[in-house]
Structure 1
Amino acid sequence: MSARELDAAGITAPSLRADYAVSRRLHAAHGRTYFLATRLLPPGRRPAVHALYGFARRADEIVDAPGPRARKAARAAALTTLERRLAAALAEGPGEEPAVRALVHTVRVHGIDPSYFAAFLASMRMDLEVTGYADYAELSRYMHGSAAVIGLQLLPVLGTVTDPAEAAPYAAALGIAFQLTNFVRDLGEDLDRDRVYLPADLLAAHGVDRGLLVHSRRTGRGDPRITAALRAAVALTRAVYREAEPGIALLDPASRPCVRTAFTLYGAILERIEAEGYATVHRRAVVPRGRRAAVALGGMAAAARVRARRPGAPARRATPGAPA
C-alpha cells in the first residue's frame, strides 16, 4: 500500500521512496490516531503527512529519550545536530538521514514555510529546560512551536477552498486542541519525565500543585482536587476544539474526512477521560477499538462520497515558499 501512495505522489527515485518508507513506519508505530486518519486522504497526499510526522517524531525521540536528566547535554547536542542537518538540507540538499530527506522533499513540493520547523525545534528545546508553565499564556508560547505550526505545516498538503491565510488560524487552533488533549491524557507519563504541561494557575485554582500530582502518581490514590482541575482542563480543551472546528469546511473536500476523523477521535479521548473519572495521573485513557473502527468507517464512507462527486473546483494551495 505504501508503494501505491508513493506512486500517486510521483515519488519515483528508489532512495527517496526508502526515505519516505522510514517516515511512514514511524507514523504507523507511534501516531496511531493520526495514521488512521491519514489513510482517508487521497493516496498522493499521504507521503507528505508521513514525512511531517516522521521528522517530528525524530525530535520527540531525542528530547524524550529514557534515562536520567543528567544526559540533558547529550540530548541538546543531538537536537542541535538534527537542526543543523535540516538547515543544511534545506539550503543544499539532500540531507544526512531519511527523516530529514523526506521532510525536505515535502517542504519543496508543497511550498511549506521552513520557519515553521525552526519554531518547532525551539519548542522541542524548551522540553530540555522547562518543566512547568505558570499560566495559559506561557504555555501558548510553547504550543505555538510544538502544535500550532504542525497545523500550519499540514495546510498546504491538505489544500483549501479559500485563501490559505483565512484557514491558517483554524489549522493552528486544531493543532493546539490535539496537543491539549495529549497533555490531559498523558499527565502521569509526563510527570515521570518531570514535566507538567497543564498551567500551574489552572491547577492552583483547584488546590493542586506538582507535589500533590506526584504523590497521587506514586501512591495510586485519587484526589477530588485533581479531578476538579482535570475537569477544568478538559473544558478548556473543548473550547479550543470549538474554535478550530469551522476551519474543516475551509479545507479541500478530499481532505475533510481525514481531518474530521482526527477531530472526532481526539475528542473521543476526552470522553474516555471523563468516563474513567479523570484518572490520567494514574493511567492513560484509550479509545476502545470498536469506537475507533466505527469512526474510521464513517470517515471512509465520507471520503468515498467525495471521490464519487468529483468536485470540479480545485483546491487552492499555499504559494510555494510562503506561509500557509
Structure 2
Amino acid sequence: MTRRELDAAGITDPALRAAYTQCRRLNARHGKTYFLATRLLPPERRSAVHALYGFARRADDIVDDLGGHRTPDERDRLLQSLENDLAHGLRTGEGEEPVVRALADTAERYAIEPALFTDFLGSMRADLTVTDYPTYADLRTYMHGSAAVIGLQMLPVLGTVVPRETAAPHAAALGVAFQLTNFLRDVGEDLDRGRVYLPGDLLAAHGVDRPLLEWCRRTGHPDSRIRGALVAAEAMTRNVYREAEPGIDMLEPRVRPCIRAAFTLYGGILDAIADRGYTVLHQRAVVSCRRRVATAAAGVARVVGARLRARVAVTAPVADGAALQWKGPGQ
C-alpha cells in the first residue's frame, strides 16, 4: 500500500500496514486490469480491495501451483491450512499469513459475511479434483464460490445508493462475467493444467470435446467447430455482462468510475478475442496499452466529475433553505 492509501483508511498498526502492502503488491503484479481500475477508487477504499484480491490470489496460487512441485494432497493441506488461518483470523483479527491479517481486518471493517469466504474456498478446493463441467448449470454452481461471491464481498466496500440486496444480483453477475471472460482468454493455458472451464453442453452443441481441444492445442491447427463454440461462449458471457451493468449505477457515485473502467477493460478482452479470430487455444488475447490508457483517462475524468458533483451537493440550497449533505464514507 502507499502511505496515502493506508493513512486514508486509518490503518496505523505497522504489521497490518505491511500486510496490506503485500496484498497491494500481489494485485499490482498479477491483476493488471483489476489493479488499474482499483486506482480509480477513493484512496480509503483501495486497501480493502487489495486485501480481497490478495487473499483470493493466495488461494488460487495454492490450487494452481504453476511450478508443479506439489501433489494434489499437498495442495489440499495447504488450502486447509489457509482456511484454518482465515477462520482464526475472522475470530481474532490475527493470522499467520499477511493476506489473512489484511482480509480479517477488511472483513471486520466492512462487516463482510464470513460465508462468502467459505463458499470461495469451497470452489477453490473443487479445482483440486474437478477438471470439467458437464453443463452450464454445473459451471454456475462452481462460479458462485469462485466469482459471484467476489462481487458480493466488494459491495460493502464500494457502498450502494439502493438497498444492498437490490444491488447484490448485479454485483454477483459482474463477478461471473469477469471470470467467464478469463475462462475464454485462458482456454489454452487451462487445458495445459488439465482443466476445461467451458461447459460441456455448449462444447457438445458444436461438436467439440476435450480430445479435439487437446489435439488443436498440441498441433496448433484451427478448427471451425471450436471457433463456433467460442463464439457461443462469448455471446453467453456478454449476456452476463448485460445482467451486471445496471448494478453500476446502484453504487455510490465516487466508486462508479472504478467499476465502469473494470467493466470496460474486461469487456475489451472479449473484443480482443474476437478481433484475433478466437485463437485463444494458441495465443492469449490482451487489451492494448492504448485502450488501457484511454479507459483509465476516461475513468479519471469521471472521478473528477463525481467529486465536483459531490462538492456542489454539499452546499447546494434546497427549497426549505437547508443544505444537501453527502454522507458517503470518507466524506
TM-score (norm 1): 0.96
Unmatched tracts of structure 2, length 5 or more: 314-324
2:185–2:284 CA contact under 8 A, matched in 1: yes
Deviates more, 1:84-93 or 1:285-294: 84-93
Q: How far does the alpha carbon of each residue in 1:106-142 deviate from its partner, in whole angstroms, 9 at most, with x for none?
A: 0000110011000000000000010000111000110
Alignment of 1:1-324 (within 5 A): 2-68=2-68, 71-310=71-310, 311=313, 312-315=325-328
How far apart in 1 are the matches of 2:69 and 2:138? 23
1:160–1:315 CA contact under 8 A, matched in 2: no
1:206–1:226 CA contact under 8 A, matched in 2: yes
Q: How far does the alpha carbon of each residue in 1:81-113 deviate from its partner, in whole angstroms, 9 at most, with x for none?
A: 000000011112311110000000000001100
Q: How far does the alpha carbon of each residue in 1:213-252 deviate from its partner, in whole angstroms, 9 at most, with x for none?
A: 0001000111011100000000000000001100000000
The equivalent of 1:321 in structure 2 is none
Matched AA of 1:198? L
Bigger relative contact order, structure 1 or 2 (CA pairs below 8 A, ≥6 apart)? 1
SS of equivalent to 2:49: helix
How far apart in 1 are the matches of 2:62 and 2:32? 20
SS of equivalent to 1:295: helix
Unmatched tracts of structure 1, length 5 or more: 317-324
How far apart in 1 are the matches of 2:271 and 2:46? 28
Q: Structure 1 pair 235/98, CA: closer, same or farther in 2 (3 Å)?
A: same
How far apart in 2 are the matches of 1:169 and 1:48? 21
Deviates more, 1:165-174 or 1:62-71: 62-71
SS of equivalent to 1:254: helix
Please state how far the C-alpha of 1:68 moved relative to its aligned partner.
Answer: 5.0
1:33–1:265 CA contact under 8 A, matched in 2: yes
Please state how far the C-alpha of 1:66 moved relative to its aligned partner.
Answer: 2.6
Q: Percent identity?
A: 62
How far apart in 1 are the matches of 2:68 and 2:14? 40
Q: Structure 1 pair 156/227, CA: closer, same or farther in 2 (3 Å)?
A: same
The equivalent of 1:320 in structure 2 is none
2:93–2:105 CA contact under 8 A, matched in 1: no
2:110–2:156 CA contact under 8 A, matched in 1: yes
How far apart in 2 are the matches of 1:267 and 1:109? 31
Please state how far the C-alpha of 1:175 moved relative to its aligned partner.
Answer: 0.2
Q: How far does the alpha carbon of each residue in 1:137-188 deviate from its partner, in whole angstroms, 9 at most, with x for none?
A: 0001100000000000000000000100100000000000000000000000
TM-score (norm 2): 0.94
